[in-house]
Amino acid sequence: MDKPLKSAVELAMERLRKQDADAGVESHPLTDAQKASIAEVRNFYHAKMAQADVLRQSKLRATFSPEERQRIETEFRVDRERLTSERDTKIEKIRRGET
């Protein structure tokens, strides 16, 4: 009993690694360049989402029509989903080493 007890998180991570190994999933550590690229992509899309939010708020302040406000909110949700999808796609390409 020389080994210290493991936390629940450590045990769960071991189980997940074993499941991945059994399923044939390989894990490759990210290089420093990949980490920097991912951080750059995240920062870029964070700024784009903040910009879209500021524009939405500005448009909402300028209108009082419930229909127009609903249209603005819907457009914002669509833009946010599109930006999130683009960000996730680019990050996944970087992880796979395609970019």
In the block, tokens 């964070």 appear at 46
Q: Which residues of the chain have pLDDT under 50?
A: none
Tell me which amino acid residue 29 is.
P
Return all residues near 55 (Cβ < 8 A) that are at least 6 apart: none
How many Å apart are CA 14 and CA 84, to the nearest integer?
30
pTM as predicted: 0.74
Domain boundaries, the chain: 30-96
